[in-house]
Amino acid sequence: MSNPVIRCRIAPSPSGFLHIGTAKTALYNWLFARSQGGTFILRLEDTDADRTEEQYVEAMCEGIKWLGIDWDEGPQFGDEPAKGAFGPYRQSERRQLYRQEAARLLAEGKAYKCFCSKEELDVQRDLAAREKRPPRYSGKCRNLTQEEITAKGDAPYAIRFRVPEGETVVDDIIQGAVRFNNKEYDDFIIVKPNGDAVFHLAVVVDDGLMKISHVIRGDDHLTNAGRHVMLFNALGYPLPQFAHTPLVHDEQGKKFSKRLHGANILDWRADGYLPETMINYIALLGWTSEEEGREFFSLDDLKRLFTLKRLTKSPARFDRKKLDWLNGQHIRMLTPEQLFYRVLPIMQAHGLQVADRSREWLVSIVAICQEKIPTLNHIIPFTDFFFRQVTAYDEKGRQKYFQKPESLLWLQTALSALESTDAWCHDALKEAYEQAAAGTDIKIGMLVNTTRLALTGKTVGPGLYELTELLGRDEALARMKHALTFVESSGEFTT
């Protein structure tokens, strides 16, 4: 028997940015399709004209593309042409299909016209609220005769699905068999009076006609799944396999609000996180590897290892510390050349005069930071002193290294060590400092930290010998003498 054709989709509503939860859904569908040699489809649920704007379409697709998630079928986006044999891939361009399928349900008696006005329905809802029960449609139009329908003439009507008796079972890969008593549902609207399909009908028609094999989505849709299974059966489409994943929670254990920084996936790009990191971290927000305790995964690893069976039921809490650690690990995996091209736009945006320097030198200064920076944005405080004169010194560092009785001695000893260095390279500089420390009983850490403050104005940065070598002899000696003059003139020594 041949393996079934795997067809997965992400169908966001472009009414805002790409939420981290939507990114997770997209990622799981994409990884499953790629791991199984299947097809991944991008579809836009843009029928709500009041909430859909092209800027949101672009923002959402930009987020998906930044993550590196590509699609095999989907609508036109930027320089990506529309592609696929099951289009169009925007719901706004599929209205006729929904009307045709709704008409079929009417003809087969599986749906009916509802002429109840908004005012009538509001009265029913108000009564239900007063009686403290869920609002349910009364069924007034469920059994209208053809004569009664004809008598309505051109009166506006919605189309309601005729919920069958019995039980609906959703066989879910993650949640197991979820049973719904059909009595829990009233006859729900599938087409509005203006002729537009409601979400429930549109999503089922799209999934059915696009031959979607697996519906992987957030478990906030689990209650909708009962309606959708009923519609699949009524329309005669093969049932896809469902997998409802837990939502992403914030660090306080609550649903990740759209108002929080980081809810927009592109916030992380702005904050200097790699797309490889976000793919890795988002994958862990509901999936575990068979290798217990493993957390670092490359994209190729995930494509190879991802399975739906390893998806978890419990919601994952966002952990910023783990994300930072993972980002550092992915930064270390880049070559210095690759890292340079990632940080170059950031350096340019912050006004660093990179155009005046050679690419080889720029790659070198990036390379000495690679083991230390947790995000791409940290390249600025770790390298800006290469491009700008030191005009101020870190306050805590100044108190610790420039305002002690021994501060002048530390600076003078470090300056002498630099001046005595013949070969201006890492190893020679290191040897000079070790000899200076041994010959004066000054701890080498004091010499190193005092020099770092003098050369960079900071107490944290890349390795001292590496940065000193790249700064150059003349510039390094000039900055040491400037710091020495500063300490001598300040006279603010403490005991």
Query: Catalytic site residues?
Result: 258
* Residue pointed to by tokens 């927009």: 264
How far apart CA 335 and CA 316 sit, in angstroms, is 32
Q: Which tokens hold the place of 422?
A: 């013949």
Do the Cβ atoms of 308 and 243 come closer than 8 Å?
A: yes
What tokens were used for 93? Answer: 């361009």
Name the nearest CA neighbour of 262 among 12, 14, 21. Answer: 21
Q: Which residues pair with 181 in a beta bridge?
A: 167
Asked whether 55 and 252 are in contact (CB, 8 A), the reply is no
Place of tokens 């997998």: 243
Q: What HEC string does the chain produce?
A: CCCCCCEEEECCCCCCCCEHHHHHHHHHHHHHHHHCCCEEEECECCCCCCCCCHHHHHHHHHHHHHHCCCCCEECCECCECCECCCCCCEHHHCHHHHHHHHHHHHHCCCEEEECCCHHHHHHHHHHHHHCCCCCCCCCCCCCCCHHHHHHCCCCCCEEEECCCCCEEEEEECCCEEEEEEHHHCCCCEEECCCCCECHHHHHHHHHHHCCCCEEEEEHHHHHHHHHHHHHHHHHCCCCCEEEEECCEECCCCCECCCCCCCCEHHHHHHCCCCHHHHHHHHHCCCECCCCCCCCCCCHHHHHHHCCHHHECCCCEECCHHHHHHHHHHHHHHCCHHHHHHHHHHHHHHCCCCHHHCCHHHHHHHHHCCCCCCCCHHHHHHHHHHHCCCCCCCCHHHHHHHHCCCCHHHHHHHHHHHHHCCCCCCHHHHHHHHHHHHHHHCCCHHHHHHHHHHHHHCCCCCCCHHHHHHHHCHHHHHHHHHHHHHHHHHHCCCCC
Check: CB of residue 246 under 8 Å from CB of residue 314. Answer: yes
d(CA 26, CA 23): 5
Q: Using CB atoms within 10 Å of the CB of residue 218, give its burial: 0 to 12 exposed, 13 to 18 middle, 19+ buried.
A: middle
